[in-house]
Amino acid sequence: MDSNIRLPKTKVGYKSFYKIIEVSKELFRVKGVSTTSVNEIIEKAEVATGTFYNYFDDKLAVYKYLLDDYSTIIRKRIYDAIRTVETRYEKERIGIKTFLEFAREDKLSYRIIWESLFIDQRLFVNYYTNFSNAYVNQLAYAVKGGQIKDNIDLKTLSFMLMGIANFVGLQVVFEGDLSDEELDKITDQIMYVLKNGMFT
Amino acid sequence: MDSNIRLPKTKVGYKSFYKIIEVSKELFRVKGVSTTSVNEIIEKAEVATGTFYNYFDDKLAVYKYLLDDYSTIIRKRIYDAIRTVETRYEKERIGIKTFLEFAREDKLSYRIIWESLFIDQRLFVNYYTNFSNAYVNQLAYAVKGGQIKDNIDLKTLSFMLMGIANFVGLQVVFEGDLSDEELDKITDQIMYVLKNGMFT
């Protein structure tokens, strides 16, 4: 689990660094991490072998950077979308819709994130544990404000909500290119169940 | 996607067949499919190379058999647990609890099922599409009987429910060995949200 990175010190260095990241992302998405070699990354990124190892200990270091990056990008997109919204209900709706849009756009993101399960299970556990912790904080705040019922265990609720977003995200990936209107309708279905339950 | 299997014709044949399956399952769980070779399977199962190829075209054929087997086992366990239960609410509760028990027992089942995403994405899509279709049939029956609201899109609902079971299943795996009582409490949380919603 060492597999460290060293950030560049120059603008030119950053150019190579991001080139390596971009090329790796594409290779990991299409071929998977386990079947991509450092040599392929170096060749496609058109950097010297030494340049690669200046910044990354190994392939796993690149992968860990990308996984962190996904976590940051997804959370930032959701945060930006919901931060000016008032109610928790609306925050949840827009947060879920933003996640579904992300799944529609980046159909292979699941591959990169879930491959952690095969590379080092701790990466997978950390990824979703961190996501759950952040979710619990948000939900706790809404409970305090009286917007979410105060008798639900928030850890389990966070896993439920992540599960809903991820699996309806799979539905979105499976169905191909859905329109914004269709995504809105799917989001409404989710919100209806979260608001009113599914049983009569 | 050919990778066919041929079932044995004798009792002795079945013994070898199941030995290959059992050994492969263990190797796939621990090492993953992509890093397990047919030679390792043959060696550990203590069968002749010819015996392996009598029954399986290749490693992928073994994997496809195992994936089908998981699908059958999980669905049969849930079916057996819920078939004498009357209401859809109770069926859902027991179905979800059965799935969580399965996750607690077979912590590596996710690895085998989700590795399909990296082996051949169509296997992954089929696995969850079939599961969703079966779920939709059950839910439609409950809608007809007035036990589930008739204004929810059942396909999206099926993906929501699969997502809840799978991700709360991950919570169960992450937390280690939960007691039956703890699993019951987690299931109650889920059912509360499905019955009453989460918002005030």
Same domain, A189 and A99: yes
Of A129, A170, A194, the CB nearest to B199: A194
Each residue of B111-170: pLDDT tens digit?
Answer: 889 889 888 889 999 999 999 999 999 999 999 999 999 999 999 999 999 999 999 999
Each residue of B81-101: pLDDT tens digit?
Answer: 999 999 999 999 999 999 999
Pairwise CA distance, residues B198 & A193, whole Å = 9
**Whole-number average pLDDT of chain A:** 94
Is residue B146 in some structural domain?
yes
The amino acid at A86: E
Each residue of B104-114: pLDDT tens digit?
Answer: 998 888 888 98
Same domain, B67 and B35: no
Same domain, A93 and A50: no
Average the pLDDT over A139-163 and give the result.
96
Contact call for B174 and A148, based on CB within 8 A: no
Residue among B137, B154, B156 nearest B79 (CA): B137
Chain A residues with CB-CB distance to B159 below 8 A:
167-168, 170-171
Same domain, B57 and B115: no
Of A115, A153, A199, the CB nearest to B189: A153
CATH number at residue A57: 1.10.10.60
Contact call for B146 and A200, based on CB within 8 A: yes
Of A148, A163, A196, the CB nearest to B167: A163
Same domain, B57 and B96: no
Beta bridge partners of B56: B5
Same domain, A54 and A77: no
Q: B179 to chain A, minimum CA–CA distance in Å?
A: 16
Each residue of B12-57: pLDDT tens digit?
Answer: 999 999 999 999 999 998 888 888 999 999 999 999 999 999 999 9
Taking each helix axis from N to C terminus, what angle separates A121-144 and A59-82, rounded to the nearest 10 degrees? 20
Average the pLDDT over A115-144 and give the result.
93
For residue B193, the model assigns a pLDDT of: 96
Residue from B90, B99, B113, B160 whose CB has the most chain A CBs within 10 Å, to mutate? B160
Is residue A3 in some structural domain?
no
- The 8-class DSSP code of residue A34 comes to T
Same domain, A42 and A75: no
Provide the whole-model pTM: 0.93
Same domain, B124 and B188: yes
Same domain, A57 and A83: no
Is residue B1 in some structural domain?
no
Q: B12 to chain A, minimum CA–CA distance in Å?
A: 35
For residue B62, the model assigns a pLDDT of: 96
Residue from B167, B186, B187, B191 whose CB has the most chain A CBs within 10 Å, to mutate? B167
Count of structural domains within chain B: 2
CA angle centred on A98, ends A96 and A102, rounded to 5°: 115
Same domain, B110 and B174: yes
**Percent over 90 (pLDDT), chain A:** 84
State the residue range of the domain holding A125: 65-196
Pairwise CA distance, residues A119 & B108, whole Å = 14
Is residue A36 in some structural domain?
yes
Chain A residues with CB-CB distance to B160 below 8 A:
163-164, 167-168, 189-190, 193
Confidence of residue A132 (pLDDT cuts 50, 70, 90): very high
Structure tokens at B52: 């392996």
CATH number at residue B150: 1.10.357.10
Same domain, A69 and A17: no
